[in-house]
Every structure is written in C-alpha cells, then in structure tokens.
Structure 1
Amino acid sequence: MLTDKAIRDAKPRASVYRLRDANIVARGFGITVAPSGAKTFFLSFTSPEDCKRKQVALGRFPKVTLKEARIKAAEMRAAVDSGKDPAAEKQQKINEAVARRALGTLGDLMALYAADLEEDGKRAAKEVYRITTKDIPSILLARPARLITKDDILDILTPIAQRGAKVHADNVRAYIRAAFELGLNAEGMTRWRGKAPKFDLMLNPVATVRKSVSRKPRGQRSLSSREVAELWNTNLLTPPMHLALKMILATGQRVEEVLQTTWSEFDRSQMLWTIPGERRKTRGKTSEPHLVPLTRFHIDLIDEIQRTTAHPIFLFPARGGIAARRYDALTSTVRRFVKSSGMVSFAPRDLRRTFKTLAGGAGIPLEIRNRLQGHAMTDVGSLYYDRHDYLSEKRAAMGTWVEALSLAVGRQNNVR
C-alpha cells in the first residue's frame, strides 16, 4: 500500500515508473515518478465506452496529498463502475475550454461592428474605433465577448457618466449594444457568415443596462442676429477657424462637409459648390452630389480662405497639411471663444441651425431651406418621381440669405 513516506522516498530513474496502491477501493490507483522527480497520482481503468485502457491524472504530489488523491480515485472508480468514462469527460472539458479560448473577444466584436459600419459607408465606424481604444479597458477587450456581463458594461459606462459625460456614456452604451446585436446575428448574415469570429453569444449584456440620461437632449441653440454679428466680426479666433465658422454660416452646410472641402469641388464660372455624394451625411440614402449655389459674397469669402490657408488641396488643412481639419478642432476653438467672449455656449453644428432659423426669418420657405442644406428628401415623390434639381430656386434663396446675413454682420455691398 502506498504511504506518504514511500512516495517521498521514491527516487527518479532514467525513465518514468509507477508505484501502485494495493487499496482495492480504488483499483488502478497509483503514482508515477518522472525522471525530473515530478510525482503525479493517477487512476488507470478500462473504459466502459470503448473497452480501451486509459489513465487519468489526479494531481501532483505534494500539492495533492495521498489522502485527497485516494478520495478522487475512489470517486472516479465509482463513476467507471457506473458506466462513465472519466478520461473522455476530462478531454471533453479540455476541448470546451480550448473552444472558449478561441471565441472572439470583446475587441473582436467591436472591430466587427466597426467593419460592418464601414461596409455600409457609415461615419460612425471611426467613432466606434475611437471609443474602443479610449473608453473600453484593455482587460475587457481581451476577454471573450461571451463572458462579458452586465457588471462589465457598467464598469465601462460608470466612469464616463461620473465625470459628467452622461450623453457620451449613452452613446458608448448604444454602440456596444449594437455590436452585441451584430454578434448575435452575424452567422445569419450573408455578409459575415463564415468570415466573422465565432462568439457563441447567448444574450446581449447591454440590454438591461439603463441609460444615464432618460432622454437625450435635442439641440435647441440658435444664434441671434446680434450674436451672429459678434461672431462674424470678432478678433478672438484664429483666422482659419474663424473663416470655417463663417463658411458654415454663409452656406448652411454641415460642419464636416465644410471642413473636409477641397478646392476641386468649386466651379467659379458656374458659381457652384458640388459636394460629392460620398462626402455627404446622407450618402446611405442617396449617392447624388449636393449642389450649393454661390454668390459674390461666397466667392469673396472663398478667396479670403485661399489667401489665409494657402493649401493646394484643402480649404481647411490640419497641421502638417496631409489631411483636412477634424470636427473636434473646431469644437475646441468655439469652446475657447465662448469662454473669452462671454457669449452663451454653442457648438459649431448650432450654426447650421442658426442658418435654418434666420433664413426662415428672411422669408425662405422651409422646403427650399431643406434643399439648400442638403437634407435627405425621403418622401415617395422626392425619391422616385421628382427629378427637378431646384437649382434656380436655391440660387434665389441663397441670394436672399446672403442679403440678410450681410445686413446682420454689417456688409451690404456686392453680395449677389
């Protein structure tokens, strides 16, 4: 019979050898002694499933004591006698563990979601990449998505909300929730079947996480004519960023569409700015370019931009000149201006709302204002039947707008 002393005294040999126990309660129980000196308890048995001789390790001595190993061996022998194969069960558990380790991580899931957005031409893909690296801890990104819990999601969102960025916390929540929905359904999509990592998700852990803000606040800020004049004539802004804000006000276009504009989009002879379909926010709904009519007022402004930034490609180049300015650069500029001037806080995108509001006050009908600003016209008539480009109507409306803007900012000559 094996004893603790006999095990301790067993010396390693040139090859592995076994010491067997005479205890009939656990037939086949013993310990192997390796050339390295490692001593491992085992149980050998004939499998009731395939009648093959097999052996299962029960733990290494002295971490596992002889008494503990005998108890394990007795339990395993009882399982064999009842028709089970402990070796097969152990291998199955190993295989399942390997499969779990091979499952896609949360990082893989977020990357898949960003790629899905890119496939659809969505700008949100860049934001998903950004929040993945900035807002989600790396330890969670490395964890299999299947093991992510509600508490893990709260661990991501709580620090964001507690620093006061509740709306951003809800945006991050929305992106992660959408990523899990994609992971749940990816194998049922022709786009990703056989290409997406296997996640083996059973549920969406974000589904029961409540929002930080019960209702996302809608933008309401619109500058008055007096504030427009103050902004237009200020000396508190750097010339390139000041001109970018003027261009948004003068044309009513989206901030990103203005900042990413290239000189090739302008046709001075036709007095026309053509925003390519792929640069439009609405490119998922329409691939048509957006035509923005220009006046002498706009040409003067564009000439001033060209003299100021002097870049061969972009109106508003980023530092280094290899790309256009980003939205957040203008946001920071406006934030500093608001602090220095004492004006009521506003964001760059509020200038587009200002255009819509003040142009309405100038008598321009809502439909034409919408067309001037490139809103997607999604009614059946506009989508499938109306092929008119409304360029003449937009030209007239833009002329009316620059007259109102010129009056507000103190420029009244040569605006058409």
Structure 2
Amino acid sequence: MTENRFSFTAAKLNKLPVPEKGKRRYYYDTKVQGLGVAITGMGTKTFIVYRKINAKPERITLGRFPDVPLDEARAQAFEVNAAIARGENPNDKRRRIREEWTLTALFERYMQDYARPHKRSWQEDEAQFQRYLQDWKNHKLSSLKKVELQNLHTRIGEEHGKYAANRLISLLHSVFEKAIEWGWDSENPVTRIKKFSEQSRTRFLQADELPRFFSALENEPNHTLKDYIWLSLLTGARRANVLAMRWQEVNLDAAFWQIPRTKNGSAQRLPLMPEAVAILKNRQQLHGQQAFVFPANSKSGHFTSPQKAWKNLLKKAEIEDLRLHDLRRSLGSWQAVTGANISVIGKTLNHKTLAATEIYARLDLDPVRQAMEVATQAMLSHRETEATTAQADNSNE
C-alpha cells in the first residue's frame, strides 16, 4: 500500500501513527471513493469524504472513529457520493446548520430524536438546560467558543458544585456530537474542556441533622414537595422514579411499589413502609384519578425536580451540602448503621453489580422490608426526640 492510501480495516486504523501536536494527517480508503480519515495531534480520528464539487475541493465530515464503525462510514460515504452524482453539495446543508441553528433548536432536536427515545435520564437533561443554559439558548452554534464554555464550566462549578458543572459539560458534549452526526461541520467545542476531579460522595443525613430536617419538613407549606421528600427518604428510590411514580405501580394493600424500569434497566419491587403507605393513601384521596402520584402542569405531566424549594428547606433546617439524591443514600447508610448486610442494602437500592447479582437474586422482600423498617424507625426516632424536647421546653416555661 502507499503511505496514505490503503484498504481500511479497524485494526489498521487503530494502529495509524499520531502526528505531531498541531498537525493533521489524512489517509484514504481504496474501496470507497473519497473516504478518508483525518488524524489530529491529539490522536482523534475522524472519517471524512474528500471530493471536488464544481471544481472546488470539499471535505464532508462523517463522524469519529471508532464511535462511527468502518462499515457505517463506508455506507455514509456511498450516500455522499450518490448526492454528489445528483449534483448536490452535502456541505451546503451543513453550512446552513452552522449558520442558522441556535442552541435551543439543536437541543430541541436532541431531545426529540435522541434523548427521549433512548435515555431514561432525559428529564435531567431537560432540567440542566433550563437551569444553566437560559442565557445561551438564542446563541447560534457558530458563535459558541471553547473559551466561553470553559468559563461557563468554571462558573457552574463555583456556584453549584463540581459535580453539576461536570454533568453539564457531559451533556453539552453529547449534544454537540449529535450535531456533528446530523451535519454540523465543526469541531465539538467542549471536547478538550478538562472536568473537575470528583470524589465518591458519601453524604447522608447525620443523626444531629435529622431533628432539624424533620422539623423543617413538617412545617413545609408545599404539600407536594413535602410528600415527595418523605417518599424519597422512606423508599430510597432514585429521584426520577419517585417523580414519575404512577398509581398503577402502587399496591397499597400489599404495601409495595413495582417500579417498571430503573436506571440500571431492571424492574424493582420495593417494600413500602407504613409511613409511606399513609402518605400515598392521603395523596390517593386527592389525586387518585390522575395517572401520576405527583401530577403537575408540565411537559412530562408530573412534578419536576424542586431544586429551589429544596434549597429553601435546607436553609430553614440549617443543613449544608445535602442533595436530593442524598436522601436515597441516607436510607442505605442508616440500614448499614442499624446492622443490615451489604446484600440487603444493595437489594433495597437496586444496585446491580456482577459480583452481587447472584446474591440479590436469592433475596426475597422479607429481609429487605425488615432492614428498611429498622432503618426508618432509627431515623424517625430523631423526629420523636425532637418533638419530646419541644414539649419539655414548653412545660418548663
């Protein structure tokens, strides 16, 4: 084979040398006209089609290898060549996208064509866009620069935490990769933005925080928020599952909740503590005729993540650095504090690891229910302690 022209295979593409930093090299396939791969000094390999159209050279970007497999790249190259044969220039459409699309237009297509059909966490994607990108929504894609997005990442990290900033960059990376796949002829502007280092989070409600937390929760005027937080704590379920809980999934007589699909792709039958059953029965009287336990006038039809109200609640309780997801971790942590074994905790929280799957499969709901009851009562005892202390203070006045 010549130095830069040979019959592509995945193995050969993987072994291609990386040029010096700042340089770019091109290699071309001998099987499909115009199909090539461009390699940057960072080692990024991108499939292209290089052809002359109306006597002008054009490079049409197809996607990155190995995210785009070789067979798919060849199929796309055939389509590009067919369009050129019809007198079309595939880059014309891509230029229109680059010139006309706003971030909002791209994100709406991302949600419609990719996130909602394929991602269980699509509501979180939508929430992140609404929370952090409102000032950017009318920006055209051609105006988005890496340095501005880097500054955004830094600001979100300072104001909302490293985890939130990193998740936003991950979302934007996915959105821009889809734009490239759909014809945006540009580099992904967040590819080289370095994320903040993260440590595994171990935060949960501590014993000294529980009385203040329960007091603030009992005095919360928003009953939807109050019930949502209680059920999040009492079930240990993931935030998205609690928000989207449906009445058809709940069996109040048998005291369990059949979650049809969780984050790890499996269903989960979760025991309901008496306190949770009482909350659900009360909500059933109010909202039982609707599909969702927490109905709302929103796109999804149910309550959405209450970040602002949650922050106000924590302020009243004088608690810092506690996230809604930490309610889930709190139940598991209190199970550990009260002596539950790791397999039962995993079953409660529906964790799924290769090492523990076989053990989980042999567990029924009885030990899980028992461990949840013990952990729940251990947490709730601090509510009773707080109430008893308040009564004693009143009697001494």
Query: What TM-score comes out, normalization by structure 1 length?
Result: 0.58
User: Which of 345, 364, 368 is equivalent to 1:394?
Assistant: 368
- 3-state SS of 1:274 partner: strand
Could you tell which deviates more after superposition, 148-157 or 289-298? Answer: 148-157
For the residue of structure 2 that corresponds to 1:138, the secondary structure is coil
2:337 corresponds to 1:364 = no
Equivalent residue number for residue 101 of structure 1: 95
Partner Cα separation in structure 2 for residue 309 and residue 204 of structure 1: 45
Counterpart in the other structure of 1:379:
354
Cα distance in 1 for residues equivalent to 2:378 and 2:165: 40
Q: Is the 8 A contact 2:332 2:345 kept in 1?
A: yes
Residue 199 of structure 1 aligns with which residue? 184
Query: Quick check: 1:237 aligned with 2:217?
Result: no
Question: Given the alignment, which residue of 104, 117, 120 partners 1:122?
Answer: 120
Q: Report the equivalent of 1:140.
A: 140
| Of 266, 270, 290, the match for 2:268 | 290
Where does the alignment leave 5 or more consecutive residues of structure 2 unmatched?
1-53, 59-87, 386-397
Which residue matches 1:323? 301
| 3-state SS, counterpart of residue 221 of structure 1 | coil
Q: After superposing the two structures, state which structure 1 stretch, 231-240 or 355-364, moved more.
A: 231-240
Q: 1:121 Cα deviation (Å)?
A: 2.8
Kindly report which structure 2 residues correspond to 1:83-232, keeping only aligned pairs within 5 A, or say none: 98=92, 101-103=95-97, 105=101, 107=103, 110=107, 113-114=110-111, 115-124=113-122, 127=125, 131=129, 134=134, 136-141=136-141, 143=142, 150-151=146-147, 153-154=149-150, 157=153, 167-182=163-178, 186=181, 197-201=182-186, 203-211=187-195, 214-216=196-198, 218-232=200-214
8 Å Cα contact 2:93/2:183 also seen in 1? no
Q: Please say if 1:409 is aligned against 2:387.
A: no
Is 1:271 aligned to residue 255 of structure 2? Answer: yes
- Report the CA distance between 1:379 and its aligned residue: 0.4
- Is 1:237–1:333's contact at 8 Å kept on the other side of the alignment? no
Q: Quote how far apart the aligned CAs of 1:306 are.
A: 3.6
1:281 aligned residue:
263
Q: In the alignment, what sits opposite 1:300?
A: 278
How far is 1:148 from its partner? 5.9
In 2, Cα distance between the equivalents of 1:171 and 1:207? 14
Secondary structure of 1:282's partner?
coil
The amino acid across from 1:198 in the alignment is: G
CA RMSD between the two structures: 4.0
1:263/1:178 Cα in 2 relative to 1: closer, same or farther (>3 Å)?
Answer: closer
Distance 1:98 1:221 in 2: 52
How far off its partner does 1:95 sit?
A: 6.9
Q: d(CA) in 2 for partners of 1:216 and 1:149?
A: 25
* Alignment check: 8 A CA contact 2:156 2:165 kept: yes
Check whether the contact 2:224–2:294 (CA below 8 A) recurs between aligned residues.
yes
- Give, in angstroms, the shift of residue 102 of structure 1: 3.7
- Give, in angstroms, the shift of residue 158 of structure 1: 6.4
Q: Give unmatched runs, 5+ long, in structure 1.
A: 1-87, 187-196, 412-416
Instruction: Tell me the distance in 2 between the aligned counterparts of 1:136 and 1:182.
Output: 18
Task: Please tell me whether residue 339 in structure 1 is matched to residue 318 in structure 2.
Answer: no
SS at structure 2 position matched to 1:369: helix
What is the aligned partner in structure 2 of residue 14 from structure 1? none
Give the deviation of 1:199 after TM superposition: 3.1
Distance 1:229 1:265, change over 3 A: farther
How far apart are 1:129 and its partner, in Å? 8.2
Give the secondary structure class of the aligned counterpart of 1:248.
Answer: helix
- Structure 1 residues 90 and 121 mapped into 2: Cα distance closer, same or farther (>3 Å)? closer
CA contact (8 A) 2:236 2:349 kept: yes
Matched-pair contact (CA < 8 Å) for 2:121–2:240? no
Match of residue 235, structure 2, among 226, 233, 251: 251
Deviations 1:173-206 (A, max 9, x none): 222323344455x4xxxxxxxxxx33344x4432
